[in-house]
Amino acid sequence: RGGHGFPLKGGEKILDFVNEIYGGEAPGELLVWAKELRAKWEADTAAKAAASSGAPAVKKGKIQGGLAEAAIRAAKDGHPVYSVSCDVQGSTGIAAFQANFPDRFVEVGIAEANMVSVGAGYAKAGYIPIVDTFGQFGVTKGNLPLTMAALSQAPVIAIFSHVGFQDAADGASHQATTYFAAVSAIPHTVAIAPSCAGEADALMYEAIKRYAEDRKAGRDGENYIFFVGRENYPIHWIEGAEYPWGKAQVIREGSDVVLVGCGPLLSKAVQAGELLAEKGVNATVISNPFINRVDLETIAPLVSAANGRVVTIEDHQVSCGMGSQLSHALSRNGSSHRVVSLGIEGEFGQSAYMAEHLYQRHGLTAEKMAEAAQGLIVS
């Protein structure tokens, strides 16, 4: 199957798929492109098979799966969780909650602003609302209702998926590249980008608990907005990890440079750390999920230990992204540092077969991150 954001199950089908679109043989230029993709898929498949031979398999899953599991567990524990969706609950992962609690969700159709407003209404009625859609539409059409929800003491919990280039096939119109910037300055709003299902599970459950505690104490409460991708990643980056609220995760620790990632792009930071280790460079690798509530207690000392050398990576515009917010927080803290922020440099996205193709095009790779780190070290 392919089309409308659904990749083919295997690259061996791409030529048939392209020809099927045209009802016969596709134009020559398109066939050349399809054959190149097929050849790359074959090479990548062979490389993965060679790399994994004899190595234990790493359990992977979609990050949003952890969000749904936490919502289910919270509802079973007695929290009045209620889901408000607008047609893409299968993609955002919250469909699993709806299957477990068929009397605790409403489908509003493709109407993102209405979805958030309905969620705020359920908040006023005593529920803990979880709204969900693709990130691009949640932070644009849903932006004013998110602001009004916080202003009206009717906050929502949001799952905004397919952010950045993770929705490669649907193209620029569906690719959220300003999602952190769009919500980080809304008062009483926390932007969260978990990097694995385990982290997503823990932080979603804690968000629901905090929402309930604020309500019980008569506090206004906060919007909690979870940004996730669509692809599979390790369930945990560190086995047995705990995920305290508001804290960054240190994946590996070194003293030469600090590499910071979040969400799907943490994988690139982890890989960059491994590449640098092969060259004798000891990097600290950090998962920074709390975008607009930077964990300076954890991050600032590690930056100081690395002589202020920091490289960040994200599939978001460099302007007002995770890297710029982190650097600003460090500066306000008086932490001397030099930062290279890898991200999108003022461009829209475009259609691609896979997110990785767009990461390559925009220099969002482990190799580029390692190169930036080495540049800081020698300068």
Which CATH number covers residue 351? 3.40.50.920
Query: So what's the pLDDT on residue 102?
Result: 97
Q: Does residue 240 belong to any structural domain of this protein?
A: no
On whether both 33 and 66 belong to a single domain, the answer is no
Task: Examine the domain organization and report whether 341 and 254 are in the same domain.
Answer: yes
Q: Is residue 4 part of a domain?
A: no
Picking from 233, 255, 272, the residue at the C-terminal end of a domain is 233
pLDDT tens track for 210-223: 999 999 999 999 99
User: Beta-strand (E) ranges in the chain?
Assistant: 60-62, 81-85, 105-107, 128-134, 157-161, 189-192, 223-227, 232-234, 249-252, 257-261, 283-287, 309-317, 338-344
Reported as a single tens digit per residue, the pLDDT across 31-73 is 787 788 788 877 777 776 666 555 556 788 899 999 999 999 9
Residues of the domain holding 357 = 246-378
pLDDT confidence tier of residue 272, bands split at 50, 70 and 90: very high
Residues 294 and 374 in one domain: yes
Q: Are 31 and 18 in contact (CB under 8 A)?
A: yes
218 shares a domain with 260: no
**Is residue 262 domain-shared with residue 292, that is, in the same domain?**
yes
CATH label of the domain that carries residue 109: 3.40.50.970
Ramachandran angles phi, psi of 225, nearest 5°: -115, 115
Q: Label residue 22 by pLDDT band (50, 70, 90).
A: confident
% of the chain surpassing 90 pLDDT: 80
User: Do 41 and 75 share a domain, yes or no?
Assistant: no
Residue count (the chain): 379
Do residues 359 and 342 both lie within one domain? yes
Asked whether residue 99 falls in the same domain as residue 193, the answer is: yes
Rounded Cα gap, residues 337 and 174, in angstroms: 35
Task: For residue 2, tell me if it sits in a domain.
Answer: no
Is residue 288 domain-resident? yes
- Domains in the chain: how many in total? 3
pLDDT of 1 > 50? The answer is no
Last residue of a domain, one of 233, 261, 295: 233
Asked if residues 373 and 259 have their Cβ atoms less than 8 Å apart, the reply is: yes
Measured CA angle at 56 (ends 271, 197), to 5 deg: 60
